């Protein structure tokens, strides 16, 4: 494996730098100086070189471009071994209750470690440098230790719920139910607090831990609100699934007389430390509830397409942004969305609402890239350190190979990045001043044996979970 570069590095004469700063500054013939983990200087190449002083190495950037590392605002790293296992004819609730949970029920500690390492490698190859993980099926420390090995930056947590269904579906193991479903909200919050106190700030602060819960039907109102209150007391955040489909919203209407976001808002559960995953089923009046509370949203375009969530039919993501809501982009898990390629989500976000609204000025490349970088970082409470290329911020960035056919030729680098390029043209991915992906190789992992292990573990989990024939594709759970 190539060495991991550290120290003081000058990347000289970059063809372009998409800084994604407050002015969306684009630099041409740029210099980027990295000192340890931070960006020490960025600007015109000659000026940066003149100010650089001693450097340990110089990288020729003449056939390279740079943009900030992507921030995945919603991902399930415990799901990476389930790629292309579940059929693509499932709506959200059947997908969760009859396919995902049986799979999760048979993911042990070693399986989850393998899953996180494999997912981390895929994210680096796709230009993702930071993530918000929904929650470990087992122990958040397992995810934290695996991510420390990979070298990524991210937020970990533990999946938790407190409302198990009256009748346990096939494939749910007793061990999973006991581990995942706590007897009440107070017990769940005690365990989640222990996780935050143990793992928040791990790996020199590169890994944080939040008060994460599953959200929606498997969680009581007390757990939803309690997670936000506990997070505020601990000075961290919380995330959970909510308003993920019209079916969920209709069930909430039947059971509680209101849609999910209104229910949480009336209980005082919205707030600036909360990231709602998906938030597809949002009524018009709920846009203002999210905006005034400072609640953030993580939109996952690929999983909305695959699970028919209705992002363009009932989703209000452009309206949320217009109202001042911070909206980041997420990949979801590989089974829900198909991959951990956040670059693909940028491409989709740039165009979905142009087409839906039949408005060529809607969203577009600039906004979509901001959603996957600095706005995702803001949702995670990390935009003071990451999300844009600015002096003093962490050296998390991606270099693209401009000799690649995707960039030959090109005019506007922003347009080319969003509409023409894919991760195939990524040359390097850096996190905290370290080269973690270089010339086709993840520098912190031996991927060959890892992939072989992943294939074996995935097959064993699918067999143990009984995910073959006669698995329901609809559900009445929690109705």
364 and 404 co-located in one domain: no
What's the predicted TM-score (pTM) here? 0.97
Residue 265 lies in a domain: yes
Tokens of 359: 């408005």
| CATH number of the domain within which 227 lies | 3.20.20.140
* DSSP string across 17-78: EE---TT--EEEEEEEEEETTEEEEEEEHHHHHHHH-S-SEEEE-TTEEEEEPEEEEEE-GG
Which residue is it, tokens 């895929």?
A: 122
181 and 262 co-located in one domain: yes
Residue 48 lies in a domain: yes
Residue 451 lies in a domain: no
CB atoms within 10 A of CB 476: 12
- Alpha-carbon gap, residue 94 to 358, rounded angstroms: 32
226 and 175 co-located in one domain: yes
Note down the domain range covering 313.
70-379
24 and 125 co-located in one domain: no
Predicted confidence at residue 248, as pLDDT, reads: 94
Could you tell me which of 197, 72, 178, 48 has the C-alpha nearest to residue 129? 72
Predicted confidence at residue 4, as pLDDT, reads: 59
257 and 268 co-located in one domain: yes
Task: Give the mean pLDDT per block of 10 residues along the chain (479 residues).
Answer: 71 98 98 98 98 96 98 97 93 88 93 98 98 93 98 96 91 90 97 98 98 96 98 98 95 96 98 98 97 98 96 96 98 96 98 97 98 98 98 98 98 98 98 97 98 98 87 78
Contacts of 233 (CB under 8 A, 6+ apart): none
Predicted confidence at residue 382, as pLDDT, reads: 98
| CATH number of the domain within which 64 lies | 2.30.40.10
213 and 361 co-located in one domain: yes
For CA atoms 369, 321, 275, 374, the dihedral sign is positive
62 and 158 co-located in one domain: no
Tokens of 32: 């980027």
336 and 279 co-located in one domain: yes
157 and 86 co-located in one domain: yes
Residue 319 lies in a domain: yes
Predicted confidence at residue 196, as pLDDT, reads: 98
42 and 108 co-located in one domain: no
Tokens of 393: 């911020």
Domains identified in the chain, total number: 2
Residue 74 lies in a domain: yes
31 and 74 co-located in one domain: no
Instruction: Check if the beta carbon of residue 280 is closer than 8 Å to that of residue 245.
Output: yes
């Amino acid at each position: 494996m190539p060495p991991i570069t550290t120290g003081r590095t000058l990347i000289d004469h970059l063809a372009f730098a998409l800084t994604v700063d407050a002015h969306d500054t684009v630099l041409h013939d740029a210099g980027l100086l990295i000192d340890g983990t931070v960006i020490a200087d960025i600007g015109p190449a000659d000026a940066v070189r003149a100010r650089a002083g001693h450097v340990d190495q110089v990288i020729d950037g003449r056939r390279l471009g740079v943009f900030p590392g992507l921030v995945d605002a919603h991902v399930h790293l415990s799901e990476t071994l389930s790629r292309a296992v579940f059929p693509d004819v499932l709506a959200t609730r059947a997908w969760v209750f009859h396919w995902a949970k049986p799979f999760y029920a048979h993911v042990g500690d070693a399986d989850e470690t393998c899953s996180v390492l494999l997912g981390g490698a895929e994210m680096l190859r796709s230009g993702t440098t930071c993530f918000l993980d929904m929650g470990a099926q087992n122990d958040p420390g397992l995810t934290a230790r695996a991510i420390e090995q990979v070298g990524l930056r991210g937020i970990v947590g533990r999946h938790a719920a407190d409302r198990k269904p009256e009748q346990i579906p096939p494939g749910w193991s007793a061990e999973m139910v006991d581990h995942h479903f706590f007897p009440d909200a107070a017990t769940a919050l005690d365990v989640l607090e222990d996780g935050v106190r143990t793992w928040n700030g791990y790996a020199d602060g590169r890994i944080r831990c939040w008060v994460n819960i599953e959200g929606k039907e498997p969680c009581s109102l007390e757990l939803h609100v309690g997670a936000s209150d506990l997070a505020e007391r601990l000075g961290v955040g919380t995330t959970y699934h909510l308003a993920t489909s019209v079916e969920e919203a209709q069930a909430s209407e039947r059971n509680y007389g209101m849609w999910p976001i209104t229910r949480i808002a009336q209980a005082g559960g919205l707030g600036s430390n909360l990231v709602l995953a998906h938030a597809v089923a949002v009524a018009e009046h709920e846009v203002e509830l999210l905006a005034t509370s400072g609640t953030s949203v993580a939109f996952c375009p690929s999983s909305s397409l695959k699970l028919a969530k209705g992002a363009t039919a009932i989703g209000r993501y452009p309206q949320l942004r217009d109202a001042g809501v911070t909206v980041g982009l997420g990949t979801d898990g590989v089974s829900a969305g198909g991959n951990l390629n956040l670059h693909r989500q940028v491409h989709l976000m740039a165009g979905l609402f142009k087409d839906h609204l039949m408005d060529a000025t809607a969203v577009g490349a600039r906004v979509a890239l901001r959603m996957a970088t600095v706005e995702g970082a803001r949702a995670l409470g990390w935009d003071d350190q990451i999300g844009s290329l600015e002096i003093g911020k962490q050296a998390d960035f991606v270099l693209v190979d401009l000799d690649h056919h995707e960039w030959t030729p090109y005019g506007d680098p922003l347009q080319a990045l969003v509409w023409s390029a894919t991760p195939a043209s990524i040359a390097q991915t850096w996190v905290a001043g370290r080269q973690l992906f270089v010339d086709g190789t993840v520098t912190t992992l031996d991927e060959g044996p890892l992939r072989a292990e992943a294939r074996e573990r995935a097959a064993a989990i699918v067999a143990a979970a009984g995910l073959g024939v006669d698995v329901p594709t609809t559900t009445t759970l929690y109705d």
